[in-house]
Amino acid sequence: MSALKKWLLWPLFWVCLVAIGIVAYAFIGGTIGNAIGSFFGYPNIKNTQSSLWLYYLGAFALLGTTGLLFTVFEILIKNTKRGSRTSLFLVLPAISILIFGPFFWSNVPKQYCIQVADLEIERQDGKLGFVDRTGNWVIRPQFEYASPFANGLASAVQDGKRGFIDRTGNWVIRPQFEFGGSAFTANGLASAVQDGKFGFIDRTGNWVIRPKFYGASRFANGLASAQQDGNGFKYGFIDRTGNWVIRPQFEFTDYFAENGLAAVVQNGEGGFINRTGNWVIRPQFEQVRSFAENGLAHVKQDGKWGYIDRTGNWVIRPQFEIASTFEDGLAYVRQDGKWDYIDDTGKTVPRPPEC
């Protein structure tokens, strides 16, 4: 083959492989991305920019692995000292994606969607039930109170007693508790009330932590907030055995977030503590809420809500009358009487479609 033909064929070959890379990005990378997302509990990860990185890594892994396999094949089977140009040019597109991918993906607008439960609570004739996304009744209205499904169960109140139902409306834990308590969390426990005291039950309805607290929240990352009398009804944190890990000393507590911090209020000022009860962000805010999955917490200062990072520095300056926790990359806020969605930079974004 003439040198001219070689010079023409190799670029064509490279372009073809880049096209293969694009196909791999769209299909193989996408499958890998969604599989990883589902594994970590984000079934709609395809609607966020993070999926682009997963797609991109999936395509890189596909092409790079293919090139390495070709190289090993030629060394072992053809008994050559090194892989041929074919192997090299199979690896090159993967390297190109790795080098230039961040440039392209960083300029792709973020995509958001609003997570909507497949079963929603609806009221009819003074009773609550559950409908699907088409508005059809799945669980007929029969409850005085009901909460959204969490970890497969929803709490419901019938004849003044609280229990838990499954997605067909059947009682898994018969109504027997007083009103109050939390949903079931990932550790399989929910708070419940008996004789005016809070404890924690398992998914069979048996007590794991006997009712002895004057208040209790759900477990998050191994700890739950609980309230004890005898010291001004202050809040502290307990473990799964019901033992105090952080003694009651706060007027308000929120859950421990993934970053290991919890929002608390002491002596009228809010800050953030770690799992040993030590201050990481000193008390200085009027109100505080725990960190979201994107690493931002909304706090109130001088009558306005804003968002801080783990170091306590402002990421979005306090400017909102009302603000929510970030979820799926968005927060819902009210400023000057107007409601909007914002991203993690504080930029207003249009109302996203439902997932």
pLDDT tens-digit series, residues 47-65: 444 445 555 555 555 555 5
Measuring CA to CA, which residue among 129, 133, 122 is closest to residue 143? 129
Token duo for residue 276: 């040993």
CA distance 246 to 260: 14
**How many CB atoms within 10 Å of residue 298?**
26
Where exactly are the structural domains of the chain?
3-106, 251-355
Predicted confidence band at 24 (pLDDT cuts at 50, 70, 90)?
A: low
pLDDT tens-digit series, residues 133-160: 889 999 999 999 999 999 999 999 999 9
Looking at domain 251-355, does it have CATH number 2.20.25? yes
pLDDT tens-digit series, residues 183-235: 999 999 999 999 999 999 999 999 999 999 999 999 999 999 999 876 678 99
> Which of 1-5, 61-65, 340-344 is the most confident on average?
340-344
List beta partners, residue 49. Answer: none
Question: 232 — phi, psi (to 5°)?
Answer: 80, 25
CA distance 91 to 68: 7
Is the pLDDT at 240 greater than 80? The verdict is yes
| pTM for this prediction | 0.70
Planar angle of CA 258, 198, 261, nearest 5 degrees: 15
Residue 159, classed as helix, strand or coil, is coil
How confident is the model at residue 40, as a pLDDT? 44
> For residues 130 and 120, is the Cβ–Cβ distance under 8 A?
yes
CA distance 318 to 316: 7
CA dihedral 12, 13, 17, 19 (to 10 degrees): 20
Token duo for residue 126: 């003074």
